[in-house]
């Protein structure tokens, strides 16, 4: 099935800057003949890669094309005599893949490796030859996209090939760029294969390659792959969508007139902008038809507004929302908060006076390049300043300039996204190909990513997780298998269960037990979203079929230690001869803001104003009594200490309290629950100003992870 039959509009709008130059779509059969004929002169580029050179020079005017000539000569000679199933010379495939990448703006090393990407797999060329001729960088990329031998791996060849490519992508994202372009050209020419094989390849493309294109931000490839897969796997819905688009083509499109109105508004505001109409691709039309039902003329496309600077994006937004009626629910700011795949834009929508609703994307031209080409637009993200300087030196080749480091050593890449780092981590724990393949698809099905912050200040300071992740996922992301002993978490300063879902920007403190016998429970699997967590939990449960070691001691009743009880401390009520009592539910101390209420017997009970009992008293119509503190500094307070269970904990805590010169009025220790123990202390302090120091001293006792006021 050809791409032309699927969606010519989508391709033309995906690369508007290229279409404006007037280049026509290539005739691969003509290229095949040119490939066999070769160049007319030793000093000229072969005619077959003239289009590649033209597209490459459009993005990189100073690129040295000599290495492309050498790569083409090696590829053409090694593939000579091989034919594709379509009957074309095989060299047309690496040429087409290289042209796709050249039009996206890939740099010279990527194009060189693209021309050679099938030589090691399908010809007698070896990796050593590629390294000797083109350098380590090109060799590493070619090796990364080379499939593993089916004779060695059998049915596991496909998942192991993807594992190999993903590991290589972790060191060099250009490996996956070539794989995506390779799959796009194969999908364009898939019509020559049997229907069952078409469906199998389309499903792998849908489940693995399209999500990878989305994560790497290569929207130009992702949208065309989506349409090609849609046509194969859902032919009836595809035909229905094609009919909708064909019917719309015969009607008046309101978007050009709306675009002109926007141009006038921006011109009058002094904002230099390019306003384009972007037709939706097939899958996008299908999705919006399912969402809205009957489609209107403006639903078949969107307005794209390109400006020079970030500030201009917000200027455009202000003019649109001032001069038109904005649809507030459609506004999204992906400039201030970029997507995890590098995507940045402002999204909005407005209604015109005649009832049409136009969706608008506002971005700078650089944002547009990244939105379309994703990681391909980064060029060589691994080049050092020295390599860049070497590339600019006369006579330097792409192979020598860009081989700035040993490509087989793992690089510290600031552009590596969190999802890829997670994938590289958990795949090491999934040696079984079937497990890897199924978990990979599940991982790629997650379409959102969040970032949470570590409360302990450790490195790294942030943890990247898929949307919907829980504290369990954060625990395994931070501690690995040590997270088996996690017994709780504190999110944004508040204690919560491990099964709680996390939101973007949360601060997480994870609480680990000191008991080596601790382990996860089976219900953790229901709340674990990351493969790393699920694999680790499943492995532990398989190794411990009876669960964690049972507690040898029977549950005990709460242990209480009671001393002399006091009364109202130094609180005084403005009620003559009234007895004053400090409320046990909140134990106020100076200088807390307090309120008093008369209870049975005429006594006044004093609460902190934040206490829930105050709101309840007022709702019952009770009148509060003014209360103030005496000049004396002594006070009574109740503290809650939460800790891991261990021997001598009560003794250590009471010793810490005594060292601060504080009297224990009463103490209660609850039985352990999941190795956590809760202590409640009512204390008489000689001076209220010593309360913060007392709480710090109690927190410093080993095993205590929280001390708070009652």
Give per-residue pLDDT as tens, 435-454. 777 778 877 777 677 778 88
Looking only at Cα atoms, what is the longest distance across the chain?
114
Average pLDDT over residues 66-70: 91
Over residues 640-697, the pLDDT tens digits come to 888 877 777 777 888 888 888 888 888 787 877 766 788 888 888 887 778 888 888 8
Three-state DSSP class for 571?
Answer: strand
Three-state DSSP class for 687?
Answer: coil
More confident residue, 548 or 254: 254
217: left (phi over 0), alpha (psi -120 to 50) or beta: left
Over residues 347-384, the pLDDT tens digits come to 999 998 888 889 999 999 999 998 888 888 776 666 54
Tell me how far apart the alpha carbons of residues 188 and 195 are, in angstroms, rounded to a whole number.
14
Nearest to 289 by CA among 242, 339, 223, 235: 242
Whole-number mean pLDDT of the chain?
Answer: 78
Average pLDDT over residues 220-227: 92
Average pLDDT over residues 590-609: 79
Integer angstrom CA distances of residue 407 from 136, 141, 617: 7, 9, 71
Judge contact between 408 and 375, C-beta under 8 A.
no
Confidence of residue 342 (pLDDT cuts 50, 70, 90): confident
- Count other Cβ atoms within 10 Å, centred on residue 231: 25
The residues facing 667 across adjacent strands are: 561, 681
Of the ranges 1-15, 354-368, 529-543, which one carries the lowest mean pLDDT score?
A: 1-15
Nearest-Å Rg of the Cα atoms of the chain is: 34
- Using the predicted structure, report yes or no on whether residue 313 has a pLDDT greater than 90: yes
Both tokens assigned to 250: 């015969």
Q: Is the peptide bond before 460 cis (omega within 30 degrees of 0)?
A: yes
Tell me the torsion sign for CA atoms 170, 171, 174, 175.
negative
Judge contact between 109 and 137, C-beta under 8 A.
yes
Nearest to 94 by CA among 107, 105, 110: 110
The single residue listed with the structure tokens 């050809």 is 2
Q: What is the pLDDT of residue 390?
A: 44
Judge contact between 49 and 68, C-beta under 8 A.
yes
More confident residue, 443 or 53: 53
Q: What is the pLDDT of residue 338?
A: 83
Tell me how far apart the alpha carbons of residues 54 and 26 are, in angstroms, rounded to a whole number.
13
Judge contact between 591 and 635, C-beta under 8 A.
no
- Using the predicted structure, report yes or no on whether residue 631 has a pLDDT greater than 70: no
Judge contact between 636 and 589, C-beta under 8 A.
yes
Average pLDDT over residues 621-633: 74
Q: What is the pLDDT of residue 395?
A: 40
Residues recorded for the chain: 710
Q: What is the pLDDT of residue 667?
A: 79
- Using the predicted structure, report yes or no on whether residue 414 has a pLDDT greater than 70: no
- Using the predicted structure, report yes or no on whether residue 399 has a pLDDT greater than 70: no
Q: What is the pLDDT of residue 16?
A: 38
Of the ranges 117-126, 153-162, 423-432, which one carries the lowest mean pLDDT score?
A: 423-432
CA 512 distance to own-chain centroid = 26
Per-residue buried b or exposed e for 535-568, using 16+ beta carbons within 10 Å of the residue's own CB: bbbbebbeeeeeebeeeeeeeeeeeeeeeeeeeb
- Count other Cβ atoms within 10 Å, centred on residue 616: 12
Tell me how far apart the alpha carbons of residues 180 and 221 are, in angstroms, rounded to a whole number.
7
Both tokens assigned to 340: 């995890």
Judge contact between 710 and 587, C-beta under 8 A.
yes
Integer angstrom CA distances of residue 96 from 79, 93, 179, 443: 14, 5, 13, 31
Tell me how far apart the alpha carbons of residues 224 and 481 are, in angstroms, rounded to a whole number.
41
Tell me how far apart the alpha carbons of residues 43 and 45 are, in angstroms, rounded to a whole number.
7
Tell me how far apart the alpha carbons of residues 150 and 147 are, in angstroms, rounded to a whole number.
8
Query: Phi and psi for 429 in degrees, rounded to 5?
Result: -90, 5
Contacts of residue 477, defined as CB under 8 A and 6 or more positions apart, other chains included, come to 422, 463, 464, 465, 530, 532, 533
Q: What is the pLDDT of residue 451?
A: 79
- Using the predicted structure, report yes or no on whether residue 590 has a pLDDT greater than 60: yes
More confident residue, 277 or 585: 277
Q: What is the pLDDT of residue 43?
A: 46
Average pLDDT over residues 198-227: 91
Give whichever of 190-194, 294-298, 449-453 has the largest mean pLDDT. 190-194
Tell me how far apart the alpha carbons of residues 422 and 466 are, in angstroms, rounded to a whole number.
10
- Using the predicted structure, report yes or no on whether residue 32 has a pLDDT greater than 90: no
Average pLDDT over residues 38-54: 63
Average pLDDT over residues 594-604: 78
- Using the predicted structure, report yes or no on whether residue 254 has a pLDDT greater than 50: yes
Contacts of residue 399, defined as CB under 8 A and 6 or more positions apart, other chains included, come to 67, 109, 112, 133, 134, 135, 137, 138
Nearest to 476 by CA among 507, 498, 446, 447: 498
Q: What is the pLDDT of residue 261?
A: 93
Both tokens assigned to 380: 């060589």
Judge contact between 79 and 90, C-beta under 8 A.
yes
Q: What is the pLDDT of residue 562?
A: 42
Both tokens assigned to 221: 């490839």
Q: Which residues belong to the active site?
A: 121-122
More confident residue, 157 or 271: 271
């Amino acid at each position: 099935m050809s791409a032309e039959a699927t969606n010519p509009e989508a391709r033309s709008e995906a690369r508007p800057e290229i279409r404006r130059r007037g280049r026509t779509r290539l005739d691969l059969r003509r290229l095949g003949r040119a490939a066999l004929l070769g160049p007319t002169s030793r000093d000229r580029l072969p005619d077959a890669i003239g289009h590649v050179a033209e597209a490459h020079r459009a993005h990189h005017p100073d690129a040295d094309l000599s290495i492309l000539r050498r790569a083409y000569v090696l590829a053409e000679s090694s593939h000579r005599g091989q034919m594709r199933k379509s009957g074309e010379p095989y060299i047309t495939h690496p040429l087409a893949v290289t042209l796709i990448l050249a039009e996206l703006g890939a740099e010279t090393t990527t194009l060189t490796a693209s021309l050679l990407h099938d030589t090691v797999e399908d010809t007698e060329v070896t990796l050593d030859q590629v390294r000797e001729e083109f350098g380590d960088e090109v060799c590493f990329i070619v090796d990364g996209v080379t499939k593993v031998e089916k004779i060695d791996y059998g049915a596991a060849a496909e998942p192991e090939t993807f594992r190999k490519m993903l590991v290589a992508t972790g060191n060099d994202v250009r490996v996956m760029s070539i794989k995506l372009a390779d799959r796009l050209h194969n999908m364009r020419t898939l019509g020559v294969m049997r229907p069952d094989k078409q469906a199998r390849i389309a499903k792998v493309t849908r489940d693995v390659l399209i999500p990878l294109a989305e994560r790497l931000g290569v929207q130009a490839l992702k949208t065309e792959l989506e349409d090609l897969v849609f046509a194969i796997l859902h032919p009836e819905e595809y035909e229905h969508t094609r009919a909708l688009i064909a019917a719309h083509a015969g009607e008046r499109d309101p978007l050009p007139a709306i675009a002109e109105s926007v141009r006038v508004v921006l011109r009058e505001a002094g904002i230099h902008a390019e306003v384009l109409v972007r037709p939706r691709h097939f899958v996008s039309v299908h999705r919006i038809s399912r969402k809205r039902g009957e489609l209107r003329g403006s639903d078949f496309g969107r307005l794209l507004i390109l400006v020079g600077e970030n500030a201009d994006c917000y200027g455009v937004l202000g003019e649109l929302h001032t001069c038109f009626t904005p649809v507030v629910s459609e506004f999204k700011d992906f400039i201030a908060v970029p997507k995890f795949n590098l995507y940045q834009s402002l999204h909005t929508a407005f209604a015109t006076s005649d009832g049409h609703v136009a969706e608008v994307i506002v971005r700078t031209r650089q944002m547009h390049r990244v939105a379309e080409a994703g990681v391909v637009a980064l060029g060589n993200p691994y080049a050092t300043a020295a390599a860049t300087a070497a590339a600019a030196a006369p006579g330097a080749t792409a192979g020598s300039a860009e081989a700035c480091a040993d490509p087989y050593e793992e690089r510290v890449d600031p552009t590596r996204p969190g999802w890829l780092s997670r994938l590289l981590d958990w795949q090491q724990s999934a040696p079984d190909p079937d497990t890897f393949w199924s978990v990979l698809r599940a991982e790629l099905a997650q379409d959102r990513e969040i970032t949470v912050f570590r409360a302990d200040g450790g490195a790294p300071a942030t943890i990247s997780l898929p949307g919907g992740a829980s504290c369990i996922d954060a625990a395994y992301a931070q501690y690995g298998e040590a997270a088996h002993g996690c017994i709780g978490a504190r999110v944004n300063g508040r204690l919560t269960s491990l099964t709680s879902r996390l939101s973007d920007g949360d601060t997480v403190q994870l609480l680990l037990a000191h008991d080596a016998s601790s382990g996860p429970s089976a219900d953790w699997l229901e709340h674990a979203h990351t493969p790393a967590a699920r694999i680790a939990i499943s492995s532990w449960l398989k190794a411990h079929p009876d669960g964690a070691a049972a507690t040898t001691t029977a549950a005990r009743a709460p242990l209480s230690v009671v001393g002399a009880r006091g009364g109202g401390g130094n609180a005084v009520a403005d009620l003559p001869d009234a007895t004053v009592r400090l409320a046990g539910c909140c134990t106020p101390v100076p200088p807390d803001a307090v309120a008093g209420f008369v209870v049975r017997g005429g006594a006044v009970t004093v609460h902190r104003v934040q206490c829930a009992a105050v709101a309840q008293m007022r709702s019952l119509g009770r009148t509060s009594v003014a209360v103030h503190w005496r000049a004396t500094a002594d006070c009574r307070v109740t503290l809650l200490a939460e800790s891991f269970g261990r021997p001598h904990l009560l003794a250590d805590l009471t010793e810490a309290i005594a060292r601060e010169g504080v009297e224990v009025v009463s103490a209660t220790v609850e039985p352990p629950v999941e190795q956590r123990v809760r202590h409640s202390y009512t204390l008489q302090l000689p001076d209220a100003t010593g309360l913060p120091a007392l709480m710090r001293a109690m927190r410093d006792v080993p095993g205590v992870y929280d001390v708070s006021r009652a």
